[in-house]
Amino acid sequence: MSRQIMSRQILLTVGNTMMGDDGAGPLLAKRCLEQPIDRWEVLEGGTMPEDTLHRIRHIKPERVLVVDAADFGEKAGEIRIIDPDTIAEMFMVSTHSLPLNFLIDELKTFVPHVTFIGIQPAIVAFAAPMTDMVKDAVDTIYQSLPKWHDDMDFGHC
């Protein structure tokens, strides 16, 4: 059986590498693909994460973690688990084709555990480099994946 069918957890990253800190999700995907973590299937959703829904349905995971840059008003590099009900109110749709709350709502129809993790960006601008604070946040999330549980100490909003 293939690794992706055996995976019961999916890391779905979202973002645009051409837009500074909005590339946090793709950077996390790259790191996970270079240094895989057992039991995690990585899907890089880019700016159209809804295009991965068919593949996620096929895998039938127990858990999906969605990771993206999200402006929740904290200092750059802060990580938060974001309540799905507040996603629509946050500024996260400018670089994506579909608002993330629609994606999360659809995932919840067939995935038992869906968690949205936001990384506070400093700069989201075309051709801007990613800041060190956001790179550090990506490393923190990567290091937490082997021992992931829903009560991770990232704070909630």
Architecture of domain 3-147: 3-Layer(aba) Sandwich (3.40)
User: Which pLDDT score is estimated for 101?
Assistant: 86
| All structural domains of the chain with their residue ranges | 3-147
Q: In whole angstroms, what separates CA 58 from the centre of its chain? A: 19
User: Which pLDDT score is estimated for 150?
Assistant: 64
pLDDT mean by block of 10 residues, the chain; 157 residues: 62 96 98 96 95 96 96 94 77 59 93 95 95 98 89 66
Question: If DSSP codes are grouped into helix, strand and coil, which group holds residue 44?
Answer: strand
Is the pTM value of this prediction over 0.85?
Answer: yes
Sequence-ordered list of residues with C-beta below 8 angstroms from that of 146, at least 6 positions apart, any chain: 37, 38
User: Which pLDDT score is estimated for 2?
Assistant: 47
